[in-house]
Structure 1
Amino acid sequence: MGGSALERDRRVERACHLLGAALIGAGLFHLAVFAVDGGPWAGPVSWRKPATFGLSFGLTLITVTWVASYLPLGGRLRAWLLGVFAVDCLVEVGGITLQAWRRVPSHVNRETPFDSAVSTVLAVGGGVLIVVLGVLAVAAFRPNPRVPADMRLALRAGFTTLVIALGTGAAMIARGVINVNTGHQQEAYEVVGFLKAAHGVSLHGVLVLPALAALLAFTGWNEGRRTRVVAVAAAGYGVAIAAALASSAVT
């Protein structure tokens, strides 16, 4: 890789890390707002949403930027995907935060033209997330002998959990949209989070499992032993996701 290309990749990564840190900071700020202002933690209008979305999107942006360095992608494509993902993370958190300060629901809100526009932007942003992260997930399953087997397994399992998170997120929005389109706006707010537990658990497997593989590299264990440990951890993570899905099904 030429010097200019390497510098470009580093600039993109630095920008993603800085934006991720800023989003985490915004999430922590809204936790402080909640502590001062109070109000409900649950429900479609609460400080929980800008707090948890800021923390989750910030952490996910930093994580995806890190794990993307292990994927067999060209430098230009990787930089482009990360740039789009970073902008999308900012838009998603920004829209949710805007609506929180306006004291109105953010998702599936069609009560006014402005609220409908924000909801549409968030839905389109969700579609962009699916495309970008889907491309990265496919890359994780491509052969890449330069990466140790335990890390390859961790990346594949981690991106699988991330795809599950995207699927549960899309399912929640779809259910809310169906309620809105059938004239049940208030009911849409109540049911849109029906897979929230499974969505939250599956979202961060892409951090937990590769981080485990990275830490195992310092143990001095051989590749086969490290891979077996990652396999057990991935199976355990899968059980946790299944339990969260089962919990959602009975509530």
Structure 2
Amino acid sequence: MPRIRELHRPLVWFSGSMALLAVVSVGGLIVDDRMLVGVPIWSKPFKFSVSFVAYAMTLAWMLSLLPRGRRIGWWAGTVLTAASAVEMVIITVQVVRGRQSHFNNQTPLDAALFQVMGATVVVLWLAALVIAVLLLRARILDRATTWAVRLGSLIALAGAAVGFVMVVPTREQLAAGDDAAITGAHSVGVPDGGPSMAVTGWSTTGGDLRIAHFFGMHALQVIPLVLLALVTLAPRFARLRDGRVRLRLTLVVSGAYTATFGLLTWQALRGQPLVHPDGTTLAAAGAIVALTAATTWAALRTPSHVGPGAGTTGDSGTSRKEFAA
């Protein structure tokens, strides 16, 4: 595993500060009984801070793997850190004030803060795009790791882009024109603040774009972690010792993740809650499962020309230590 000093320091420090904010938010959930948009008021900074801990640390690790373009990567990571920090400061300030942070135009101050947040999200996304391009051009360790990092960053970029859909005004808000106090929504087909799932706060009566947003962004961690699990299991399962097999499985996982992300986005846009899928959604999910199972079986086939000693050197023999380096 790379040493802390080899990671992108601003992202590491930001991740640490988000871990601290998560602890503070837990305290807020315990002692502050205020509710906002149907959920405990400290739930938003808690969820955002936990998400940013994982997101920032993963990017810090990925940037440390770049063989070239490190200076551009450092600046992109630093800009992303600054934009994320501003967003979290505004979210926390609005919680302290007892005000809604997202979509809020109720007062000039609320509107100004939301506009600043909107600008930081655009900057964050563009910085993540720069990092994704750098990762696409880089050869990182073995091919499986290279593609896990590349595809994870691209899917995360698409997940982050779902946030832009949330700021589109609803029909009711468009009808209200300039008098709309709230512009944009997480939910589709129902107002924000209705019945929701515990902890996540996702709607149980309508579509919720936050589900696809969350799922997509965390491809950044999930896909590399799946590959790490394959590398860890390789000493016990002969087929996983072949780097080509691990590459195929990485592509299968990435494809299944992308398809699931698309399904979650489509389900939300149709105004359908996650916990109440209709027959069409279930059929699409079944197709994803069946296709994933079939491609996994195909990926696990050991090439006929691979001998007993294959997978001990080169690309086929990437060790756990090399993966984490």
TM-score (norm: length of structure 2): 0.66
Q: Which residue, 216, 225, 236 being the options, matches 2:230?
A: 216
Please give the per-residue CA displacement for 1:115-141, whole angstroms capped at 9, x wherever unaligned. 122111101101101110011112222
By how many angstroms is 1:236 displaced? Answer: 2.5
The sequence identity of aligned pairs, in percent, is 24
C-alpha distance in structure 1 between counterparts of 2:26 and 2:228, whole Å: 31
Check conservation: 2:219, 2:257, Cα contact below 8 A: yes
Check conservation: 1:172, 1:195, Cα contact below 8 A: yes
**Paired residues for 1:101-112 under 5 Å:** 101-112=96-107
- 1:4 aligned residue: none
Check conservation: 2:7, 2:60, Cα contact below 8 A: no
- AA of the residue aligned to 1:55: V
Q: Which stretch of structure 1 is more off in the superposition, 125-134 or 161-170?
A: 161-170
Check conservation: 1:24, 1:59, Cα contact below 8 A: no
C-alpha distance in structure 2 between counterparts of 1:222 and 1:105, whole Å: 52
C-alpha distance in structure 1 between counterparts of 2:242 and 2:7, whole Å: 34
Q: Say if 2:268 is the partner of 1:244.
A: no
By how many angstroms is 1:114 displaced? Answer: 1.6
**Change in CA separation of 1:39 and 1:215 when aligned onto 2, cut-off 3 Å:** same
Q: Which residue, 41, 49, 52 being the options, matches 1:54?
A: 49
- SS of 2:100's partner is coil
**Paired residues for 1:169-180 under 5 Å:** 169-175=163-169, 179=174
**Change in CA separation of 1:243 and 1:35 when aligned onto 2, cut-off 3 Å:** farther
Q: Which residue, 81, 90, 106 being the options, matches 2:76?
A: 81
By how many angstroms is 1:66 displaced? Answer: 0.9
Q: Say if 2:49 is the partner of 1:70.
A: no
Q: Say if 2:173 is the partner of 1:184.
A: no
Check conservation: 1:168, 1:198, Cα contact below 8 A: yes
- AA of the residue aligned to 1:94: V
C-alpha distance in structure 1 between counterparts of 2:26 and 2:126, whole Å: 30
C-alpha distance in structure 1 between counterparts of 2:40 and 2:101, whole Å: 8
Check conservation: 1:33, 1:47, Cα contact below 8 A: yes
- 1:205 aligned residue: 219
Give the helix-richer structure, 1 or 2: 1
- SS of 1:217's partner is helix
- AA of the residue aligned to 2:99: V
Structure 2 gap segments, 5+ residues each? 193-207, 236-240, 272-325
By how many angstroms is 1:12 displaced? Answer: 6.8
Check conservation: 1:45, 1:105, Cα contact below 8 A: no
**Paired residues for 1:64-143 under 5 Å:** 64-143=59-138
- 2:202 aligned residue: none
By how many angstroms is 1:162 displaced? Answer: 1.0
Check conservation: 2:7, 2:63, Cα contact below 8 A: no
- SS of 1:174's partner is coil
Check conservation: 2:167, 2:185, Cα contact below 8 A: no
C-alpha distance in structure 2 between counterparts of 1:41 and 1:21, whole Å: 27
C-alpha distance in structure 1 between counterparts of 2:177 and 2:163, whole Å: 18
Please give the per-residue CA displacement for 1:177-231, whole angstroms capped at 9, x wherever unaligned. x748553224645758741111011111011112222343343512111112212
Q: Which residue, 237, 245, 251 being the options, matches 1:225?
A: 245
- Moved segments of 4+, more than 3 Å: 9-12, 38-45, 178-183, 186-194, 214-218
C-alpha distance in structure 2 between counterparts of 1:26 and 1:19, whole Å: 10
**Change in CA separation of 1:43 and 1:152 when aligned onto 2, cut-off 3 Å:** farther
Aligned residue pairs total 242
Structure 1 gap segments, 5+ residues each? 1-8
Greater gyration radius: 2
RMSD over aligned Cα, in angstroms?
Answer: 2.8
By how many angstroms is 1:14 displaced? Answer: 3.2
Q: Which stretch of structure 1 is more off in the superposition, 151-160 or 97-106?
A: 151-160
C-alpha distance in structure 1 between counterparts of 2:81 and 2:42, whole Å: 23
By how many angstroms is 1:10 displaced? Answer: 3.9
- AA of the residue aligned to 2:96: W
- SS of 2:141's partner is coil
C-alpha distance in structure 2 between counterparts of 1:118 and 1:140, whole Å: 33
- SS of 2:148's partner is helix
